[in-house]
Amino acid sequence: MELDGNLSVETLDASCEGENSPAAHVTILVCSSCRDETGSDAHPRAGAKLAESARAAGENHGITVRSVECLGNCKRRLSAAILRDGSWSYVFGDLAITSGDDLVTGAKLFATSTDGLIPWRGRPDSLKRGLVARIPPLDLIKEDK
């Protein structure tokens, strides 16, 4: 399995997805408050344009796109997250207003993932270079004793 960097991870219980399981529901969150590289306060903000790009790309693919005010990733400019129930959550930065297609490509890969991770292979470059963090689902966390 190819992973982000050299981190080793536990995979989710195989019962969460089988090879013939229908695609899981994936949601893209886009920060609509992010400014462009000039820092302009003009509206619509660059983040709102990215959200619109993702909405347009996600139409007819069953991908939900929601706008949020801030993902706390402002220093990495245009930011978005990709979430799937019971799976890892991903935060991305350094996106462009035209990255909507890349976000939807990543979301579609995630929807059919069998291990609860967005596959590295086939992931758009912007979602490789722009990865800020991935957060495991609570169910995967084992309590320290």
- Interface stretch with ligand FES, choices 27-35, 50-58, 109-117, 121-129 (CB under 6 A): 27-35
Nearer to ligand FES, 33 or 114 (CB): 33
On whether the CB atoms of residues 16 and 116 are closer than 8 A, the answer is yes
E strand or H helix that includes residue 132: strand 131-135
Q: Do 26 and 111 contact (CB within 8 A), yes or no?
A: yes
**In the complex, minimum distance from the CB of residue 11 to ligand FES, in angstroms, rounded to a whole number:** 30
Based on the shown chain and the rule CB under 6 A, indicate whether residue 79 belongs to the binding site for ligand FES.
yes
Which CB, 25 or 129, lies closer to ligand FES? 129
100-111 and 46-58 are packed helices; what angle lies between their axes, rounded to 10 degrees?
50
The DSSP annotation for 73-122 comes to -GGGSS-EEEEETTS-EEEE-S--TTTHHHHHHHHHHHHT-SSSS--STT
130 binds ligand FES (CB under 6 A): no
CB atoms inside a 10 Å sphere around CB 56: 12
Q: Is 34 in the site for ligand FES (CB under 6 A)?
A: yes
* In the complex, minimum distance from the CB of residue 78 to ligand FES, in angstroms, rounded to a whole number: 7
Binding mask 37-76 for ligand FES (x = CB under 6 A): ----------x----------------------xxxxx--
33 in contact with ligand FES (CB under 6 A): yes
User: Is 29 among the residues that bind ligand FES (CB under 6 A)?
Assistant: no
Q: Please answer whether residues 79 and 71 qualify as being in contact, where contact means their C-beta atoms are separated by less than 8 angstroms.
A: yes
List interacting residues with ligand FES (CB under 6 A).
Answer: 31, 33-34, 47, 70-74, 79
